[in-house]
Structure 1
Amino acid sequence: MRAILIALLSALIAAPGFSEEPAPVARMAPGPSAVVAATGQPAEFSLGAGDLLEISVAGVEDFTLPARVGADGTIRLPFLGNVRAEGLTPGQLEENLADLLDPDYVRDPQVLVVLKEPLSRMYSVLGAVKKPGQFEIIGPVTLVSAIAAAGGLDYASAGTTAVIQRSYGLAPGARPYSIEVDLRKLMAEGNVTLDLPVMPGDVIGVPQREAQAVYVIGDVGKPGAFEWPLEGEISLSRALAMAGGPTKTAKMKEAWLVRQAPDGSVERTAVNLGDILKGKKPDIALRPEDMIYVSGSTAKSIGWGFVNQAPNIFTWGLLR
């Protein structure tokens, strides 16, 4: 009996596609923030393609079989052939293998399946994050905790959308599908319904955003273009502060908000900065590519001629 089992082990190790040393896998250990409570995700994940298993039979000395789940979802075992593993938990696979073992060789076998290398339980976070890479799912993981495990968003370059490429639950070889998540609603507004569970094999991409800015020119301390933040809005008073505030020669009652309308035309709205800064009038929420012009001295007011004649608001990129 022992000779048969050792022969079985030797045959498996010699079989193509199997080795004693597991194939290296690039991985990072997620931080504590990656393990968070979430609903709708089982505690024990199903096995999947790429997982490296260690199969043993209790009470049988020197009997340990390494087996990797193939692309077809099966493991290949001598004398048993291909055995379906994908979609099963380790416990379910143990029961199936116990049923398949010949009772003439092992009576009432107690099979143990250990997940040694959970390749199918990995997910990736790429793009505009601080530490992009591959991570293992340990306990339930959501989109927010996955991004946290990757060091968080790189706010200087991150766009407003995350794209999840998902193949979990699909038939082998099926094309992954995409899920788009509005990061501004998730991160800034706290919409927890968008904090989706991360599934094995997910690839989370955070595309870099196209540069957007708000422009403040005229009689201010530091006129120029100011990058639009991902995490929130910019009010007129905040934009003015970013530009160093009005100078002593600024005409607080003679400011202008210049904005491109949906039809492509340019809208110019008179603004009384003094009333806004004193709280007499409500602040104004700006939009990306808005321009604030603060009237003042003749030298700094020369730019108003350009603003007044500009056919397209996006030509102000020259200020960057």
Structure 2
Amino acid sequence: MTSDRRLFLLALGSAAATLAACGGGAAGRMPRPSDRAQRIQPSSRGDFPNIPFADWTDEEPEYLLYPGDEIEVALPTAAELTRTLKVGPDGRVALPLIGQVMAADRSLSELEQAVSAAYGSQLLRPTVEVTLRQAGPIRVWVDGEVRTPGVIEMVGDLDAHQAVIQAGGLLPTGKAERAALIRRGPGGARMMRVIDLRPRRGEVVALRRGDIIFVPRSTLGELAAFFTQVRSAMPIGFSYSINGSNGAGYASF
């Protein structure tokens, strides 16, 4: 094992321990090494059980509603209650008779079930159909050793290198070849992989809504401080905890 590899794994273990004071999510594992891309250098959970990320996959997760999304909540058996609404900044929508309902971070079917249950005391047949009319702003986050860290709104396709350029480019102190890409995976688990952002050497990584790019100064051990800072900026809560039964770490948004 190279010294750089050993430092990377030890740093990630330290990040997990530092974050153990925050609260709950869904259990996950670090991604396993890929034979196709040597730049991706994760660890198996068996070796490092406290690293709080799920196995990386390019599978598209089920769409989850987000603040700014426009939806239609239709009640076929009570058409006068049908509404077209935007998910508010707090993630909620307001519906007649039942008031505020949390919509963000739920799939369309989950919201249908929640609204139907809420209308159960008001209607004999609370059949609910939720349709996504228009997706709200598609944003990604760029932080770390870039000139203007913050939120970037995607207009069309955007890859990781382009996002860093929009964030003002890399600082001389940035470790471009070992940046972190953090993404929501299937089931809501958070995944992390190492990407190479060096011009002409790095890979092209298409971004998805909610992706986070973190460019470290030296090692990915700086992820601990980054997570602490990003929690208050996310529209849907971020949390981290240690599962008391088996000591496994996990993270979720």
Scaled to the shorter chain, the TM-score interval is 0.3 to 0.5
Q: Which entry has the higher C-alpha Rg, 1 or 2? A: 1
Which gives a bigger RCO, structure 1 or 2 (Cα 8 Å, sep 6+)? 2
TM-score (structure 1 length as normaliser): 0.34
